Chain A
Amino acid sequence: MAPTATLDASDITEKARRDLLQLLEGVRGKKNLVIEKSLAGPVGLFVKFSTLQEYGVDKVFFLENNNVDSTQRNVVFLARGEKARQVQAIAEQIKRVRRESKQDHEFSIFWVPRRTLVSDQILEETGVLGEVNVVEFPMYFVPLEKTVLSLEMDDAFGDIYLRRDPTAIFLAARALMLLQKSQGLFPRILGKGENAKSLANMLLHMRAEEDIDASSDPSNAHVHSFDLTPSATIDNLIIIDRGVDFPTVLLTQLTYEGLIDETFGIQNNQTEVDSSITGAAPSQPPPQQTSGANSQAPAVQPPASSALKRKILLDSTDKLYTQLRDANFAIVGTLLSRVARRLQSDYDSRHKANQSINELREFVNKLPSYQAEQASLKIHISLADELKKVTNGDLFLRVLEVQQNLAAGADPSTVHEIIEELIARDCPLTTVLRLLCLESSVSGGLRQRDLEHFKRQVLQGYGYQHLLTFAALEKIGLLIPRVSAGAGAYLNPLANPSGAATVTDYNLVRKSLKLFVDDVNESEPNDIAYVFSGYAPLSVRLVQCILQKPYLAQLTNPRTTPALNSQPSTATASGNWKGFEDVLARIKGPTVDEVQKGHNAAASQARKTLQGSGGGQVKTSIVFFLGGVTFAEIAALRYINGQLGEKRRLIVATTGMIKGDTAVGAGVEGRSFKTR
């Protein structure tokens, strides 16, 4: 019962795998699996297609394609049941199969992550509930890496900010609740932003409800009642609402991994690249892939993946990639050539004169790993080459110029000309919108005149349907007109009774948190700003406000350091917002700081004593990004973790990975006025 085990991502993977296979086993005989597209990737992270086959899966269909056939008696649907659309799609397919097929079918639905009342109601109304076997597949967090947990909800950003549908927040609370059940309560919940606040409230709420749930739920009658004590291993939960920090998403990520995501896109640890770049996938799996590197290969291959594309797995099983992923792209070339040289010399060592048999054997033993490394080196060199072409392009440099100027706080009007040029040159709409949104975010909205001017330009350049795009972006809060009346409000914090600003005062925050570092060192990073070559992500700075107080204090105000520095122990130990309240008040959204105590204070005290004063223990902080996280931010957090040393572990949790194109894309109207 004592939740002392440290949080281990592989446990979560293993559990999800076991759960799914158990459910599949529950359906007797061969079956066809119909899976929602957005679930295929996450499922592929923990179970291979061949394993599914062992468990009787004959064919896999995508729910969206609506093409299930009647070859198998058993049909299993795997889908998220939160949205009515999905449920209706399933109901229709069941009806269609039943109509077309001559034999009797057994239908099962596995709802991810839970069975909903709405799904039951819809199935009942369509008259299929009576003959489907409905079960839950409680998959919440999917570990992308040992320290990265994702809910992999692709629509989360659009749902939360555009449609104001808090389903994602609720599911996130559920997922965190599950973590608390296995690890103990988060002793402290910190956070920033409107949605962070509601997530924290939900967590507190759920904890109170859990007491009763555990005892009144007949299914876990013999589990002891839920009496949580604060976790011994987890120190705090830091919730960052994406809405607090849009600029970080909008800027182009400049780490290797970030750039791959920006250019080719990374989905569930995989990127898809034109095979002309990397060479076609080897027809036989190369040796390193059979020996474990491929253990997470996609379970569900899209039925007809275009032959010209090649999938590349990007995760920590690739040793070389682990070294490269977080580096600024500027130095990736150097790193690659260094590795290439080392590999060469290692390989050449076989020519050394008078080697003993033992040495030779050693060399032969290492041979497969050399080959693996060489193969991965080859891939990364060609990827880097391709990225280089992009980053050297005229457009990329132009865009970067605008971004750097805006991030550094230059007068926005200086970049207007470039943005206009980009529109005239018909560069991708999302790129243009990212720049406009960036300007709006850092300067508290665009001036009405500028906004209308750019709207006109975009409408003429990309079509009038984007009137809807602008409406959506304004709803999200990405592209808004500047409200001059509000200017007075944040000069006087007392004017706002809630104490929370409604618009972030970027000029002030930039200065007080040093969001732009001029002398950033890309090859030997000295600050998180290296991930954007100058701009330090606000979201990560907020995390530093809690975990690296002395460092941040020194960085932002080198002269007055002694004051805070003299008692670093008290400042860091508690993990709170202390010392940065003034800045936080100027960032939009409420600030969250909640302490969770166990019912039984004596018991938790006793446990603390038993485990020593926590001196020798690794403390974990969970940073939850509500609405998505970028690879650059993860890189920055890994950098911070490196600075904090062995005693602390940072785990990044999120609703899903995000990049500027997807964020802006949530608002972009996809259709156009075409005559069909």
Chain B
Amino acid sequence: MSKPTADWEKVGDRFYRKTQLYTDVFDQDLELENHVIAGAPYSGAVALYRDEDKLHAYRGTQTAKPTIDIYSCAGKLIRSLNIDKGIVKALGWSEDETLLVITTDGTVRCYHNLQNDFTPFTLGHSAEEHGVRACRFWLSGFVALLNNNALIAVTRYDEPRPKLLATPPSGDVASWAIIPPAYTLSRSVEVLLATGKTIYVVDASECEDRMLENGPFKHIAVSPNGNFIALYTDDSRVWVISSDFQNRLSEYNSRVKTPPKDMQWCGNNAVVLAWEDEVHMVGPNGAASKYFYDSWVHLIADTDGIRIITNDVCEFLQKVPDASEETFRLGSTSPASVLLDAVDLLEKKSPKADDNIQLIRPNLDEAVDTCVKAAGQEYSIHWQKQLLKAASYGKSVLDLFNSDDFVDMCETLRVLNAVRFYEIGLPLSYEQYMRLTPERLIQRLVNRQEYLLALKVSDFLRLPLNKIYVHWARQKVRSANADEESICKDIVHRLDGKRGISFEEIARAAYDEGRSKLAIELLDNEPRAGKQVPLLLSVGEESLALDKAVESGDTDLVFYVLLHLKKKLTLANFFRTINSRPMATALVEASAAYGDRELLKDLYYQDDRRLDGSNLLLTEALKQSDSQHRNDKLKVAAKLLQDSREHTFQVKAIDETQRLFRIQEVFEKDLGESFVGLSVNETIYKLIKSGNIKRSQKVQSEFKVAEKTYWWIRLRALISRRDWRELEEMSKTRKSPIGWEPFFNEILGAGNAKLASLYIPKCTNLTVPERIEMWIKCGLITKGAEEALKAKDMSSLEMLKNKATGNAVHEIERMIAQLAPSRR
């Protein structure tokens, strides 16, 4: 076994290693130099496209049709996409392995999940007019540079909203780069444009000149963490500066006349320059290392390193991780390195193994941790095993040790080794795997149709399996040639009893393939009613969709279906559809009440709901300001109900309404005051208040207002107009239908105690103490005392005495005296 340090190289004071991942990557006939290449993040797929700008030998007709070919890192062709129109200007990947293809006219196609079909969107009018020149991508978006130097940013792909950034100055753009939103202060994407001798920083609102003088810069590259920028100057130097343009960190002179074809970051601490077959890696402080190849080289930057691809090999260049360096560096005396040595000795059955352990005893736990970490960084299975053995040996010596990390690492390595296998071609580093997450790794496997491996890995990592099944079923629906019934049967049979299967997704795949019947059949197995709705609408099963929407209980869905139905069906059919579904009818009523009154009218007419129809007319009458129109509406409202016996009350009330209007209009003419809008009682009140007693009595008799009610209204009206004379007159009446107490209360409430007191003797139905209370309220203590005297109530008299002042005290004393002897 070769030493793990064999592929290490010291650059400055750091070690870098170049791991050979795969050999014989591409067919030797493939002219890499004539292709544009784009690699998905986290060791994902690689897309190749024939560069239109370069000359190529005429090869007959088979190359006439341009394609984009998607390969795995090991060079296995996954898919070939036909580009039938437009000139491809840029290729890029998003985090979830969606391929983005942008053509000159600003059309963006998103190829999800490495499939053939895509969702398009456009960058807008200006892109169409001026044409796209180039694009730069980050994990979840991209920026397009147009030929007029305008910049358009797209920050999400599920709902793309192309946004124009601030306008940069015109002039030739020598090179450009972006800083992803996550790494900028403003949290929106920033673009670095090298124009003339300087660099402009452009974001959504402004374009700022950074005042550099060493341009034009041939290349700009931003480090993965957004902290550093590498610039390639005209005099073939590389500058590394901080991204706020404040510090220059290192400089390197390549001494090559021709500018490199590409410059990328390798992790966050080295910059890689590539010429046709030569690669320079520039570490910190300008130290560099050079690699030479036999054929054309492409660079694909990743978060923690860089992939170098030629026809023959695919290599991964990265800084040696700290744990590995600590363990393997020549002459290292770190505990981990000693522990590794110990396990070697142990295998040779040498007693020195224990000496080694004793040597590092105090730091043994640390050594175990480092070995576990280093194992994760190794690509060679031999060394992985060796390191894990060392860790295992070390932890067996320790008394207390949490083995969780060790177990996790063993599991992780099993997964990593499985997917690194050349037939799968996902050479994930440990770092990348952590960022990618196991769930998305499964998604990638599924996208490559490695269902068996995906299932096994999911099972091994205790992840849900349902998505894998669904993906399988969708693929089956797309590709199977069997008749629809057997496909459906097969799928349902295989997925029977599996948890969390979304049949809606499978059905949608079938629908997209144009197999509507199959889609409906599959949809029938979907347990979520709501999810079935949109697809059912698409295949034209409206009433079924309505049923499912109602079943889901989600009113939004019901509304959605109803809107759809209303557009599609005739009114009669629409009503027939909703008629048997009360919830749908209720929702139509509720929403139409605020807008579409005509619809509501038709609905009530159709359903023969006369009372509702009549009420609707009433609300319309309420809205009318013109009396003629209002009366018309009321007449129709009454007419609707005329025939049925159960609504006689309603009809009578509507008639009365009209009668009231007529009489009120007469009053308005006669008295010059407004009456319409008042109720019957209010009309009487107003009439009495303005002294029109005769008229008020007419209203009373006309509308058969009860005598009691009339008296109450009269009382209130008189009080409000302070008609004490009239009220005094009334006190002389013999009888009141509402009794006399209200008179007392209301008049007293209005502040006329004297008048109120007139009514006290009339309240004959009240008890003596109550009447005494009334006298007190009027401030007539003596009167109250008289009342008490009459009733021979001694205690009340005493109480009154205490309340009394001045003359009244004597009066009451006299009465007490008067009462006292009779008691004796």
The 5 closest A-B pairs by CB, nearest first: A424-B712, A674-B677, A164-B586, A460-B680, A464-B657
A467–B676 alpha-carbon span in the complex (Å) = 17
**B589 near A163: Cβ-Cβ < 8 Å:** yes
Give the chain B neighbours of A459 by CB distance below 8 A: 653, 656, 679-680
Q: Which of A424, A452, A669 meets B708, CB within 8 Å?
A: A424
Interface hits, A351-406 → B, CB 8 Å = 394
Total B residues in contact with A, Cβ cutoff 8 Å = 84
Q: Which of B464, B560, B590 meets A163, CB within 8 Å?
A: B590
**B709 near A214: Cβ-Cβ < 8 Å:** no
A215 at the interface (CB under 8 A from B): yes
B494 at the interface (CB under 8 A from A): no
B296 at the interface (CB under 8 A from A): no
Contact string against B for A residues 239-281, beta-carbon threshold 8 Å, 1 for contact and 0 otherwise: 0000000000000000000000000000000000000000000
A452–B653 alpha-carbon span in the complex (Å) = 10
User: Given A121-B563, A164-B582, A211-B500: A465 and B622 within 8 A (CB)?
Assistant: yes
A461–B706 alpha-carbon span in the complex (Å) = 11
Give the chain A neighbours of B159 by CB distance below 8 A: 134
For the complex, would chain B's binding face be called helix, strand, loop or mixed by DSSP majority?
A: helix
A434–B415 alpha-carbon span in the complex (Å) = 70
Interface hits, B593-626 → A, CB 8 Å = 593-595, 611-612, 615, 618-619, 621-623, 625
**A673 near B621: Cβ-Cβ < 8 Å:** yes
Give the chain A neighbours of B680 by CB distance below 8 A: 459-461
Surface stretch bound by A, among B54-62, B216-224, B405-413, B549-557? B549-557
Interface hits, A2-42 → B, CB 8 Å = 28-29
Give the chain B neighbours of A423 by CB distance below 8 A: 681, 709
Surface stretch bound by A, among B346-354, B435-443, B757-765? B435-443
A457–B713 alpha-carbon span in the complex (Å) = 13
Number of A-B contacts (CB under 8 A): 194
A225–B464 alpha-carbon span in the complex (Å) = 7
User: Given A28-B188, A425-B716, A471-B615: A165 and B590 within 8 A (CB)?
Assistant: yes
Give the chain A neighbours of B615 by CB distance below 8 A: 467-468, 471
Give the chain B neighbours of A462 by CB distance below 8 A: 679, 681
Give the chain B neighbours of A224 by CB distance below 8 A: 464
Give the chain A neighbours of B555 by CB distance below 8 A: 82, 165-167, 170
**B621 near A460: Cβ-Cβ < 8 Å:** no
For the complex, would chain A's binding face be called helix, strand, loop or mixed by DSSP majority?
A: helix
Give the chain B neighbours of A420 by CB distance below 8 A: 706, 708-709
Interface hits, B660-674 → A, CB 8 Å = 660-661, 674
Surface stretch bound by B, among A202-210, A336-344, A522-530? A202-210
B470 at the interface (CB under 8 A from A): yes
**A216 near B502: Cβ-Cβ < 8 Å:** yes
**A675 near B674: Cβ-Cβ < 8 Å:** yes
A133 at the interface (CB under 8 A from B): yes
Interface hits, A423-468 → B, CB 8 Å = 423-426, 452, 455-457, 459-465, 467-468
B467 at the interface (CB under 8 A from A): yes
Q: Which B residues form the contact surface with A (CB < 8 A)?
A: 159, 161, 186-188, 204-205, 437-440, 443, 464, 466-467, 470, 499-502, 504-505, 527-531, 552-557, 559-560, 563, 582-583, 586-587, 589-591, 593-595, 611-612, 615, 618-619, 621-623, 625, 627, 630, 649-650, 653-654, 656-657, 660-661, 674, 676-682, 685, 703, 705-706, 708-709, 712-713, 716, 738, 745
A212 at the interface (CB under 8 A from B): yes
Give the chain A neighbours of B531 by CB distance below 8 A: 209, 212
Give the chain A neighbours of B505 by CB distance below 8 A: 216
**A164 near B500: Cβ-Cβ < 8 Å:** no
User: Given A164-B586, A672-B622: A209 and B553 within 8 A (CB)?
Assistant: no
Q: Min CB distance, B822 to chain A, in Å?
A: 37
Point out which of B587, B594, B677 has the most chain A C-beta atoms below 10 A from its C-beta.
B677
Closest to A220 in B: B439
User: Given A221-B439, A222-B439: A461 and B679 within 8 A (CB)?
Assistant: yes
**B681 near A424: Cβ-Cβ < 8 Å:** yes
**B709 near A424: Cβ-Cβ < 8 Å:** yes
Q: Which of B582, B589, B716 meets A426, CB within 8 Å?
A: B716
Q: Which of A215, A456, A671 meets B622, CB within 8 Å?
A: A671
User: Given A117-B556, A675-B674: A212 and B622 within 8 A (CB)?
Assistant: no
A213–B555 alpha-carbon span in the complex (Å) = 18
A121–B587 alpha-carbon span in the complex (Å) = 17
Question: Can you pick out 27 interface pairs between chain A and chain B where the beta carbons lie within 8 Å of each other?
Answer: A28-B188, A28-B205, A84-B591, A84-B595, A114-B556, A118-B560, A164-B586, A201-B553, A211-B499, A212-B466, A421-B712, A424-B712, A425-B716, A426-B681, A426-B685, A452-B649, A459-B656, A459-B680, A460-B680, A460-B703, A461-B679, A461-B681, A464-B656, A471-B611, A669-B619, A673-B657, A676-B625
A165–B554 alpha-carbon span in the complex (Å) = 10
Give the chain A neighbours of B502 by CB distance below 8 A: 212, 215-216
Contact string against B for A residues 27-60, beta-carbon threshold 8 Å, 1 for contact and 0 otherwise: 0110000000000000000000000000000000
Inter-chain pairs besides A222-B438, A426-B716, 13 sampled, C-beta below 8 Å:
A84-B591, A117-B560, A170-B554, A208-B528, A221-B439, A225-B499, A459-B679, A461-B680, A463-B677, A464-B654, A464-B656, A467-B654, A671-B619
Closest to A466 in B: B679
A211–B464 alpha-carbon span in the complex (Å) = 11
Give the chain B neighbours of A498 by CB distance below 8 A: none
**A28 near B204: Cβ-Cβ < 8 Å:** yes
Q: Min CB distance, A152 to chain B, in Å?
A: 18
A173 at the interface (CB under 8 A from B): yes
Q: Min CB distance, B440 to chain A, in Å?
A: 7
Interface hits, A653-675 → B, CB 8 Å = 669, 671-675
Closest to B626 in A: A675
Point out which of B464, B679, B706 has the most chain A C-beta atoms below 10 A from its C-beta.
B679
